[in-house]
Structure 1
Amino acid sequence: MKDNNNYNVLIVGNKGREYALAQRLQQDERVNALYFCLGNGGTQDLGENLECEHYEHIVELALKKQIHLAIISEEELLILGLTEMLEKAGILVFGASKEAARLEASKSYMKAFVKECGIKSASYFETNDLKEALNHIQNASFPLVIKALNKNTSIVHQEEEALKTLEDAFKQNNEPVIIEPFLEGFELSVTALIANDDFILLPFCQNYKRLLEGDNGVNTGGMGAIAPANFFSNELEEKIKNHIFKPALEKFQADNTLFKGVLLAEIVVIEEKGVLEPYLLDFSVRFKDIECQTILPLLESSLLDLCLATAKGELNSLELVFSKEFVMSVALVSRNYPTSSSPKQTLYIDPVDEKKGHLILGEVEQDNGVFESSGGRVIFAIGRGKSLLEARNHAYEIAQKVHFEGMFYRKDIGFKVLDLKEYS
């Protein structure tokens, strides 16, 4: 039976992901009002941006605005327990619990969790001592992956590069550093809706994380993505479901860890004796920016119903329908991304043919109708098409509608699948 209630929805975050969620929720006539903490220059046109001084203030504002559903995608607030605080106030929450959020907050905890679950992942060396780390890399084969804190992942190809990365890591935090062998294969981002002991996989996505064409340069949060990434067998999908997500949920259940939100697995698929095997690279406990923006256009069902069913723990009542189209996203970033901040730049945006796709406003500010960049991944061009090639062409056509000083984007998103001979 269709839910005909009206909802005030609070979206916690300020990136392109929040804009994408709001853009979609706004289309549902049951959404009475949209609020954002803090929101960005784009979300203020979709609802009301609220000034939030601290996480306890968010609860006060949610009660004042009579919020029925909160969607949390800010990792720090999940770790602080905002989900539990809002639920205690009687508000439905689409977001991981404080305990579940540890999976993304600590690389050390994540590796121990994965090992206990029996999930295939790279072997690793863990230490909080620089001398031990340096001794380890002297006997290791390159390339190596060095993980520090929650987001800092570096791929290093020689000892000198590893030394600098390790020295920087130990200067910045007291968390143990993880050193792994680099796993060669094709990568996938797999997003699942989680409602305690139940889960539903969303269309697979391939995120192009490296800054430069040809998968060169430093790691980023994502320079673009394609979906659905359906260039593999059903057998591999079953392995991902049964050997990665099921063991993780069983561990949550065994530990009495509540979880009603998103679990995203970053996976590398490796050929072993002629058989494709998925290895886990990382877990996230929320929608990620590039994946969210790339998957959402495929969803033909109600996003509001998706969030409500998840927050209520009623995934068995959810019937999701996805488009047969393809989607490609391209991140338009500021000059110094991701190594340092760039001066604010005015954005100039030409009209976009909405039949071909749309734009997602990310790290932007708005003053009297004028948009300015306020961070690294400023805006995203989203292209749709009946084929991946058509989606790609539309995404790059839309990217050319945006202009700001120092704008940069990769011109080869999708090359792993399309086997492009040159970039245009």
Structure 2
Amino acid sequence: MTPSRRQMKLGLSIASAGYHYSAWRLPEVSALSGMDIEHHLRGAAIAERGKMDFVFMADWSSIMNVTDERIARDKEHAQVKLDPVLACAALAAVTRDVGLVPTASTTYNHPYAFARRMASIDHVSRGRIGWNMVTSTNIDEAMNFGLDGPIDSDTRHARAAEFVDVMRDLWQGGPVDHAGGQFRIQGSLDLPRPPQGFLPIITAGASVNAQELAARSADICYGGQPSLEMARRYYASVKGRLGKYGRSEDDLLMMPGIMCFIGRTQQEAQDKFDAIQAVMNVEVGIGQLLLNHFPDLTGLPLDEPVPDLRMRTDNLGSARLAGREPEMTLALMDRAREEKLTLRQLFDVAMCGFWSLGVIGTPERIADMMEEWFTTGAADGFMVQPPYMPGAADDFVDLVIPELQRRGLHRTAYTGRTLRDHLELPRLSGLAGAAA
């Protein structure tokens, strides 16, 4: 049955032990989550139980900043992980309804090989695969692929746009004769069109280039705004670019990230937050601030106000790599000055992952916030970022989703077969976004 009102789209990010940097230190969380296929199977089952649209797997092809001795990478999780495309192929065989969205970079892949691989998984999953398209900015990734540093933004985004064009030509079926600025391909895929035709594409980023790429080529834009007003501005900015590519506002879903600590009472939710904050590692906290343009705060007392902060400019790509724009870092610096935050309080924000929308509360409070974002031009749905897995994902599905269902904001049963069906995206008949 078609719902009588617009409903939220929901994705569940399951790639690691959780979005809190101390998640792996909780006794109920496995430090090997990223390498354990059982972890991925459990996450997909949780999302399917909640009738969510898809599971999402973030990725980058390196161990980041491993040579910087100021950053305690050996005390973090998410440094070793399965290739998400291969993990999704495994999940496709043992799930029935939920969509599967791995991350892969247009910077270090080739469109023919990748189109073939993804079309194959779409057939295996009977139409449930999507793609989180990224353009890589990490120096460690660049060096892994024989470069001295990241490719400049204009070149990366031009390559990504052409990559998508080639992919969609190949998925369309028939011979392809493409000679562009980045790729030359003559041939065709050696398998039928994917069940979905064109696989749904997700992308993220707040730069002008990233927003233009989303408006031109994506079906979903993954945002990382921590406040309602920032999310509204981003929503309007990206949606406002669609017309130049011959697209309508309904052609692109905006899905900001949300991380929740959930309790049946406010105190229970606060207790969950306090428990994970209590196992915070100070060295990791210092490293996270360094990666986001803060000065080196090593040696400062934890419970005294930090001194006046000035933004570092020697590593400008790092915040964007982590999905955070300098705008967010500056906002946190302003908050630290105005509220005279201590170093420990700064860690409370940086370590817990509240760079996106973060909330500690009851299911009703969380649903209220989600509904406000959804109905006031800030979101078409949400990317759920559990602070720790699987417990926080279970909490969201068992406590928040029933509240959303009671309000008619989320489905109670799958009504389509493919990921494109779940997202209510049209089956494209030609190359979307080809207009200049």
Q: Could you say which TM-score interval applies, normalised by the shorter chain?
A: under 0.3
* Bigger relative contact order, structure 1 or 2 (CA pairs below 8 A, ≥6 apart): 2
State TM-score, norm by structure 1. Answer: 0.27
User: Which has the larger strand fraction?
Assistant: 1
State TM-score, norm by structure 2. Answer: 0.27
User: Which has the larger helix fraction?
Assistant: 2
